[in-house]
């Protein structure tokens, strides 16, 4: 299988304890930032489609940092999915789930980690074959207690809690049997990007990597 072979959401989740949620405004930051995370042991990178430069950043990482696996975050439409795949994204993360988005990611060849916050959303995703889901926004929507409650009826679903997760509380989530990894923006702080402080990003990646013993 080639390096660009299709991956699954589970593979994306299992690679490290944390998927970094990345917001980039300057394409010049993309490659050094990706290399800094990689140096700290984090290679699954979620670059959110929230800035005008996001697709160019995905493209640069896909082209110049082949050991990283770049995905697109904030994927909300078929157009987002198509653009992300064209730019070289291998997976998509979305803040919610619709059947249309599921189909669009499938058509674009992107693994999808879709956001859910209710039992009905979990049931819809599950009906459509998705059992690895992002719990978003995790802290605001019930946190650890919600995941414990879901572990009964949704015993066959695994989660990536994202939203309000930090280096301080990540271990509480990771200790749950239905949590594979967490997502969080703390690995790439805006001030570290502004200062080009790649060593700090590597350090944060290393600290995050150690979250699962």
Residues with catalytic annotation? 46, 134
User: Which of 64, 113, 66, 68 has the alpha carbon at shortest distance from 91?
Assistant: 113
Q: Is 185 in the site for ligand 3PG (CB under 6 A)?
A: yes
Minimum CB distance to ligand 3PG smaller for 21 or for 104: 21
Task: Please give the residues from 129 up to 148 whose contact with ligand 3PG meets the rule CB under 6 A.
Answer: 136-137
**Binding of residue 184 to ligand 3PG (CB under 6 A):** yes
> Residue 1 or 57: which CB sits closer to ligand 3PG?
57
DSSP SS3 for 92? strand
Q: Which residue's structure tokens are 């802290």?
A: 139
Q: CB of 184: closest distance to ligand 3PG in angstroms?
A: 4
Which residue sits closest to ligand 3PG, CB atoms considered? 185
- Considering the complex, what minimum distance in angstroms separates the CB of residue 125 from ligand 3PG? 17
Cα distance between residue 44 and residue 16, in whole Å: 8
| Cα–Cα separations (whole angstroms), residue 128 to 100, 110, 190 | 11, 15, 37
Q: What are phi and psi of 205, to 5 degrees?
A: -65, -45
Window of 10-18, 103-111, 159-167, 189-197 that interacts with ligand 3PG by CB under 6 A: 159-167
> For residue 103, what is the enclosing H or E element?
helix 99-108
Please state whether beta strands 44-48 and 18-22 pair in parallel, antiparallel, or not at all (unpaired).
Answer: parallel
Helix, strand or coil for residue 183?
A: strand
Among 17, 40, 161, 163, binds ligand 3PG (CB under 6 A): 163
Interface residue with ligand 3PG among 36, 75, 165, 192 (CB under 6 A) is 165
For ligand 3PG, the binding residues (CB under 6 A) are: 21, 136-137, 162-165, 184-185
């Amino acid at each position: 299988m080639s390096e660009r072979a299709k991956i699954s959401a589970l593979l994306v989740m299992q690679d490290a304890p944390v998927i970094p949620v990345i917001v980039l405004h300057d394409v010049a930051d993309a490659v050094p930032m990706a290399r800094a995370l990689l140096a700290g042991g984090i290679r699954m990178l979620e670059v959110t489609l929230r800035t005008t430069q996001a697709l160019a950043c995905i493209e640069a990482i896909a082209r110049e940092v082949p050991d990283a696996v770049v995905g697109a975050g904030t994927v909300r439409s078929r157009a987002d999915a198509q653009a992300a795949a064209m730019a070289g994204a291998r997976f998509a993360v979305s803040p919610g789930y619709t059947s249309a988005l599921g189909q669009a990611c499938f058509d674009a060849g992107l693994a999808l980690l879709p956001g859910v916050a209710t039992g009905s959303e979990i049931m819809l995703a599950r009906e459509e074959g998705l059992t690895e889901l992002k719990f978003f926004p995790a802290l605001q929507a019930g946190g650890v207690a919600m995941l414990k409650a879901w572990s009964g009826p949704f015993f066959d679903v695994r989660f990536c809690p994202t939203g309000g997760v930090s280096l301080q509380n990540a271990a509480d989530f990771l200790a749950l049997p239905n949590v594979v990894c967490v997502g969080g923006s703390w690995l790439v702080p805006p001030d570290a990007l502004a200062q080009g402080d790649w060593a700090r990003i590597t350090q944060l990646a290393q600290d995050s990597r150690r979250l699962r013993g």
